[in-house]
Each structure stands twice: as C-alpha cells, then as structure tokens.
Amino acid sequence: MTLADVWYWILALLLWLYIFTDGFDLGVGILCLMEKNEPRRGVMIETVEGVWHANQTWLVMLGGVLFGAFPLVYGTVLAALYLPAGFLLFALMARGMGIEYRPETDDPRFWTQVFGWGSVAVTVAHGLLLGAILQGMPFDGLRYLGGPLDWLAPFPILVAATLLCLYPMFAAAWLVLKTEGELQDAARLWGIRFGSAAVGCLVLLVGYIALDGRLGHLVGRPGQGGLSPLFVLLLVMAVLNAALYFRALGKGWEHRPLMYCASMLVWIFLAFGLNVFPLLVPPAVTAASAAAPNDMLRVMLYVVGGLMPVVVFYNAYQYRVFRGKAVPGEEA
Amino acid sequence: MDFLADALLLSRVQFALTTAFHILFPPLTIGLAVFLVVLEGLWLKTGDLVYYRHFRFWSGLFAINFAVGVVSGIPLEFQFGTNWGPFSATVGNFFGQVLGFEGTMAFMLESAFLYIMLFGWKRVGPRMHFFATIMVCFAASLSAFWILVANSWMQTPSGGHIENGVFVVTDYLAAIFSPDLPLAFSHMYLACLELTAFVVGAVSGVYVLWGRHTAFFLRTFKFAALAAVVLAPLQALVGDLNGQEIGRIQPAKVAAIESHWNTNKPGTGAPWHVIAWPDPEAERNVFAISIPDVLSLLITHNPTGKVPGLKDFPKQDRPPIVLPFYSFRLMVGVGTAMVAVMAWTILLWRRGRLTVERAGGNRLLFMSWALLAPGAYVAVIMGWVTREVGRQPWLAYGLIRTENGHSALSAGEVGLSLAGFCVAYTLLFGLFIHFMGKRLRRGPDLDELPPPAHRSGPVAG
C-alpha cells in the first residue's frame, strides 16, 4: 500500500465521520420541518446544539486534508463544481445562522425554519456534489472537459434524494437516544418512515447504476451494466443493518438504532469504496496521480495521523459530558 | 462596467470581500478567549462573584462573535479550490497541508471545548471547566498561528521551488517559518489583543456612561486600560520593526505604500509623503506633501539610508499604489490615536477621575473609547489591505502571478457567487449587530449564582 493509498482511506474515514455525525444533526433540521409543535422542535434542536459545530468541523478537516494530500483534485474538482460547491457554502451559512441565532430571539419559529430549510439545502448540496464526482468528471490534465451543469443529472439527484432520507433516519436514531416520552415515540415513527424510504432510495440508486452501464465503475463492472457479486454482498450487509435498525426501534432499545446507522453507513462506504478505489475522481483520476509528493504525504501522515486519535478522543469526551436526555431549557 | 466581464477581477473582489468580512470576527474571538482565561483564573483564585458574572457576560458576547466568524470563515478555505484552482494545484501540497493542520489541530479543538465552556457549568467541575476555557484560548491562538504561516508563506515563499508545475518542499521548517512570519504573526496577534482591549473598554465605558452597573464595569474598563498601556506602545514598536523588515524582504511593497518613485541618491535621504496622489503612467506623484529624509529614517533608521523607488522595479511587477498608500496611513492613524487615548486615560485615572462617584462625568473619554473600538476594526482591515494589495501582482510573491493562479471560470459564475456573498454577508452583519445590541441592552445578570459544584470557594492558586 502506497502513501497515496493510505491517504485515500484516511479521506474516506473523514468523509464517513462527516456524513455520519453531521448527517444526524442535519437530519434533525429536516425533521424539525415535520414537527409542528415549536417547544418540541426546541428540544430537538437542543440535542444537537452542543455537537453540530464539532460535527461540521469534520468537513473543514476533510477540505484541509484533500487540499494538502491531493492538491490536484482540490484545485480542479471544486472549480469544475463551482455552482453546487458555492450552494453548499451558502446553505451551511443559513443552517448555522438558524441554529446559532434561534436561542437569541423571543419568537424562534422563523429561525427554526431557517435551520430546517438550511439543513435540507446542505443535504441536497452534499448529494449533488457526491453524485457529480461519483458519476465521473472528464479531465485532460488539469483542464476540465465537462460542462458547468453536468451535476444537474439523474444520478446526482438520486444521490441527493437518498441522503434526504438517510440523514433523517440517522436523526431519528439520535433523537431516540436523546429524548423521551412523546417526542421519542415520534422519533421512532420517523425512523421507520425515513429508514424505509432510505432503503428504497438506495435500491433505486443501485438499480439505476446497474441499468446505466456508464456508472459501472461504482459497482465493480467498469464500462458495462449489472452488479459485481462483491458489491451485491456488501449492499445486502447494508440492508441487513437497516433491518436490525428497524428491529432495535421496535424493541424500544435506545442506543442500538444509532449504532446500526453507523454500521450501515460503513457497509455502504465499503460497497462503493472498494469498487471505486483507487479512483479518486472517476473515470481517470487516481489517488496516485493526484497525490502530493511522498515526502509531504509522510510529514502529513505523522502530524494528522498522530493527532487523529486525540481528536476522536476529545470529541468522544464532549459527547460524554453532554450524555443523557436533553433537558428542555438547560443552559448553564 | 467592464469589470463585470472579468472573472479574474471578480474572483479577486470576492476573495477580498469575504476575507475582509471574516477578519472582523476572529480578532475578538482570540482576544476575548485570553480575557476569559484571565477572568476565570481570577474567579477560581479569589472566589469573587464579580469575576464569575463577568465571565458569563463576556462569554455570551464571545458566542455570538464566534458563530459569525465560523460561518464566514468556511468559504475562505474552499475558495482556494473553487476560484484559485491552479494556485492550489501548484502549492497545495504545502499550503493546503498548513490549512489542514489548522483544521486538525486548532479548529476542531476549539469546536469541541467551546460548548463545554459555554454550557458545561453544570456538567463538569471547576478544574475541567477552566481546562476547557484554556483549550478554547489555546486553539484560537494556534489557529491564528497556522493561518499566518500560510499567509506569510505567500508573502515570502521559501523552503522549496517549483518543479514541473508543483511546489517541491526541500526544507520543511524554512517553509513554515518563512522570513515574514515572526513579525507578521506578532503584529497580528497584538492587533487581536489590542482590538479586544478597546472593545472591552468601549463596552464597559458605555455602560458607565449609561450609569448601569458602574462599579461592575469600571473594573473591566480599568482592566482594558491597563492592557492598553502595554499593548498600544508595543504594537507601535512591532509595527515599526515590521516596516523595516518589509523594506528588506518586499521593497516594492514599501515603495508602493509610500508612493516613492525615485531611489534616493547616496548621501541624501528619501522624503516621506504625508499625502500624495500617484500618476502611474507618468511615474510620478501629481502632488505630494513631503517631509525630507523621514522615509529613510522610518525604513532604515538612518537619515540617508537607501530606499529603492518604484522605478527600480519593472512595470509589470509593481503593486497598485493608491490603496496601500491610504490604507497604511489610516491604520497608523488609528494606532497613534490608541496610544494617545491610552495615555489620557491613565492621566485621568491618576487624577482620581475613575472612581464610582466621578466616572460618569468623563463623557469625552468614554466616547473616544467608543469611537476607537470600531476604529480598531478599521485598522485591522486597513492593515490587511496594505499587506495583501501590496503583495500584488503576485499570489505567492515572486513565484506565482495572480493571473496565473485563477481557475477557468466564467464571469457569470463568479458574478453569481459574488452577488450571493454580498447579500449573505450584509444579512449576516445586520443580524450580528442586531443580536449583539440585544445582548448589550439586556446587560449582565448581577444576581446569577454559579452551580453548587462551583461555589466551594477558591480551588486554584
């Protein structure tokens, strides 16, 4: 395994951390639009008030690591995806303002809406960006050969739809853990609805890939239709974890639904990741071709790799400090 | 409206606008974090509830300020990729790595401990809470360090060379500690502390003027005044050293800042223009009010020291002149006013005018502080304008020209995002002022008691 490969998988880990953690707090934003009762929305938002910020910071780390380890990708892909990338930044701003300013006002309803729709917008931007990269971007060296609106295609839109179901599914599990009573019951119901929709979207997405031969690089059959056995196996594992999630919700367990969300996302990552590797940006940009010089990757590995456990540790500590059910109105 | 069709210019305007807006917030975050550590340390040592209540009051303002800083900061990191792609692709393996270090080491640390500091009073004990505050402060300062590492490297790229279109690092430490870094970081860090001293002093002073909680806020006002005693003159000194250093490492920048065209002949001094208007076509100043020999004194500390003029540099390597010339003078003007107001404050203090009974009468003094708080922000922005416009026409000085670092974007795309930023940042700023004002009108809670676990009296010291 080369250093570029190591960084490929570190990047995947950071993306997983970002999608899982920011996923559930974005999902809470989306679920706020489902809940009509404002004080109850307040409790939902309070469960993520202390953690959304650190969760979002995985994106900043992801950006920094991509910039440092794969400068050629950072300098080309973001420019080629100028509009959806800009949309993501504005959406992040709206979401952040919604959650930060909500407690400062006497009438929080407006800011709840900003937080909720901001979360929807961030999720859509995630889907469009991920979808656009996964479906493939043609480059000639550093020059982008595609059009400025290539991301506006069925596949990225399907990815966005999947995330719009997946994030609330994670959020439901988080709310089951952090709330009690009627709100917790509502969260279980959301979990079943959005969880089913997420599985449905995932199947639809995979079906689309299997039928559209141009996306074969995602499922182990480059240039042709269908699915490779390995991909099918990993996908079945992901769906199995979704089934375990439903069972855990039904049994009234509080910790396990969230754990199954995490493991389900691991299987999804493996299903696509193992097939796409070593491509960083299909169809031609590989980890090795876009990586920084080896010396730089090594320095970065010592520093970032050495710090990662510390970072994970104090993030875990922070979750521990604020463990237990959210207490409405707890400030100090 | 030719410039609307120029994607490069629009990208430059966008980066200038977004960074200038962003830099309004981190200095206060960095300075207030230091202030909060001091307040909490004093509270733990003395058990005096005034310190605890001050901590709660200022940390509330800190939270609002921090939020806007984060929201406005994220677009900066990503703009390197979206708008300055070729630059990122060329230097990313070092430059991007530095930004990655900032995120990993500093920003994450700050995010994780911030919430414990703000809302963890009931959840952790006094020592752990103090530790969280120290971590927030340490992380904020560390962030400033890494960002200045990246920026200083753009001013004086060192530690490697460009090979096949990629920057190859040969000496890692030399790249991190580029020649510009020590003084640039000192100057900016002091600016953060000085700005905070004047904001804390201004807010406290206005409460005293309003006659609200006079004794409570006189304490922080005096604190700010004492900080200014150290910071304001020290900043002037560091600024002067910085000027000399830039004369050595970026002489074209100095020539532009001073609208200085002709190198002074040996044995004569270079004049300093108080005000001037340059004519770049004719390579002269249309008019100038000058003082003989002063520029040589400022840059070389010798009345006949040699200061290279703009004509010594090829036309295509000269930075713009008007902007750095006037932004520099504005910054220095505010800095000087800060020293003066600091001295005046100490004078009045020594004459016994800052007692609870008499403080309310110093209307003019507190009003000058209230003016210098926004003045400090102006000074910070003007300092950065001087530094960055003076760096032109280079992205990385002498290494990559600005025009060669720009992504192949259409003017329409950049125009759209620029318009979006204008709207979004106007809204952000309006909301910031609105919510900050709301907090300030509400004022501190002087009956608030710490949670039981924190009430056991002094635990440190």
- Total number of domains constituting chain B: 1
Q: What is the DSSP letter of B328?
A: H
In a domain, B245, yes or no: no
Judged by phi (left if over 0) then psi (alpha if -120 to 50, else beta), residue B102 lies in alpha
Chain-centroid distance, C-alpha A244: 20
pLDDT at A40: 92
Q: How far is A289 from chain B (nearest CA, A)?
A: 12
Judged by phi (left if over 0) then psi (alpha if -120 to 50, else beta), residue B156 lies in beta
In a domain, A318, yes or no: no
β-partners of residue B289 are B275
In a domain, A252, yes or no: yes
- Nearest CB among A296, A303, A315 relative to B112 is that of A315
β-partners of residue B394 are B401
CA distances for A216 relative to A136, A201, A213, A219, A272, angstroms: 11, 18, 5, 5, 11
- Examine the pLDDT at B27 and tell me if it is beyond 80: yes
More confident residue, A330 or A166: A166
- Examine the pLDDT at A176 and tell me if it is beyond 90: yes
Q: Which three-class secondary structure state does DSSP give residue B156? A: coil
Judged by phi (left if over 0) then psi (alpha if -120 to 50, else beta), residue B443 lies in left
The token duo for B184 is: 């640039």
In a domain, B424, yes or no: yes
CA distances for A195 relative to A15, A168, A260, A309, B54, angstroms: 21, 8, 11, 31, 47
Which residues have CB under 8 Å from B461's CB, separation 6+? B44, B45
- Total number of domains constituting chain A: 1
Residue A205: closest CA among A139, A135, A302, A116: A135
- Examine the pLDDT at A242 and tell me if it is beyond 70: yes
The residue of chain B with its CA nearest to that of A322 is B123
Q: What is the largest CA-CA distance in chain B?
A: 74
Between CA A171 and CA A166 the distance in angstroms is 9
The beta strands (E) that lie in chain A are given as 139-140, 143-144, 279-281, 285-286
- Examine the pLDDT at A154 and tell me if it is beyond 80: yes
In a domain, B390, yes or no: no
Between CA B46 and CA B53 the distance in angstroms is 13
Judged by phi (left if over 0) then psi (alpha if -120 to 50, else beta), residue A325 lies in beta
pLDDT at B3: 60
Q: What is the DSSP letter of B321?
A: S
In a domain, A303, yes or no: no
**CA torsion, ordered B351, B357, B362, B366, to nearest 10 deg:** 110
Interface of A with B in 42-81 (CB under 8 A): 49-51, 53-54, 56-57, 59-61, 63-72, 74-79
pLDDT at A107: 82
What's A188's domain CATH number? 1.20.1630
Q: What is the mean pLDDT of chain B?
A: 90
In a domain, A304, yes or no: no
Q: Which helix (H) or strand (E) holds B285?
A: strand B284-291
Question: CA angle at residue B425 from B424 to B430, to 5 degrees?
Answer: 105
pLDDT at A104: 83
Q: How far is B129 from chain A (nearest CA, A)?
A: 11
In a domain, B17, yes or no: yes
In a domain, B229, yes or no: no
Tell me the average pLDDT across B205-229. 92
Kindly give the interhelix angle for A52-69 and A3-32, rounded to the nearest 10 degrees.
150
In a domain, A331, yes or no: no
- Examine the pLDDT at B118 and tell me if it is beyond 60: yes
Q: What is the pTM of this model?
A: 0.90
Question: CA angle at residue B287 from B286 to B291, to 5 degrees?
Answer: 140
CA distances for B17 relative to A44, B23, B103, B424, angstroms: 36, 10, 22, 12
In a domain, A320, yes or no: no
* Residue to substitute from A93, A110, A310, interface B, most B β-carbons within 10 A: A93
CA distances for B42 relative to A24, A262, B50, B196, angstroms: 39, 44, 10, 19
Parent domain of B72:
1-178+410-461
Judged by phi (left if over 0) then psi (alpha if -120 to 50, else beta), residue B398 lies in left
Parent domain of A252:
3-296
- Nearest CB among A57, A89, A148 relative to B75 is that of A89
In A, which residues are within 8 Å of B74 by CB distance? Answer: 59-60, 89, 92-93
The residue of chain A with its CA nearest to that of B422 is A90
Chain-centroid distance, C-alpha B227: 17
In a domain, A317, yes or no: no
Tell me the average pLDDT across B15-22. 94
Tell me the average pLDDT across B380-400. 93
Q: Which three-class secondary structure state does DSSP give residue A226? A: coil
- Nearest CB among B93, B103, B113 relative to A296 is that of B93
In a domain, A307, yes or no: no
Tell me the average pLDDT across B336-340. 94
pLDDT at A332: 44
Out of A12-16, B306-310, B359-363, pick the least confident. B359-363
Q: What phi and psi values does residue A313 have, to the nearest 5 degrees?
A: -60, -50
pLDDT at B459: 46
In a domain, B400, yes or no: no
Tell me the average pLDDT across A149-173. 96
Q: What is the CA radius of gyration of chain B?
A: 24
The residue whose two tokens read 């974090």 is B33
- Examine the pLDDT at B198 and tell me if it is beyond 60: yes
Cβ A25 vs Cβ A52: under 8 Å? yes
> What is the pLDDT confidence band of residue B19, given thresholds at 50, 70 and 90?
very high
Q: Which helix (H) or strand (E) holds B394?
A: strand B394-396
**Interval A29-77: pLDDT, tens:** 999 999 999 999 999 999 998 888 889 989 988 998 999 999 989 888 9
> What is the pLDDT confidence band of residue B461, given thresholds at 50, 70 and 90?
very low
In a domain, B289, yes or no: no
Residue type (1 letter), A137: M
**Interval A268-327: pLDDT, tens:** 999 999 999 888 998 888 898 888 888 889 989 998 888 888 888 888 888 888 888 887
Long-range contacts for B164-171 (Cβ within 8 Å, ≥24 apart)? B165/B89, B165/B90, B166/A71, B166/A293, B166/B89, B166/B90, B166/B93, B167/B90, B167/B91, B167/B93, B167/B94, B167/B95, B167/B399, B168/A293, B169/A293, B169/A295, B169/A296, B169/B93, B169/B94
Residue B93: closest CA among A62, A292, A302, A78: A292
pLDDT at B460: 41
Q: Which helix (H) or strand (E) holds B119?
A: helix B108-119
Q: How far is A308 from chain B (nearest CA, A)?
A: 8
**Interval B127-145: pLDDT, tens:** 999 999 999 999 999 999 9
> What is the pLDDT confidence band of residue B32, given thresholds at 50, 70 and 90?
very high
Q: How far is B321 from chain A (nearest CA, A)?
A: 31
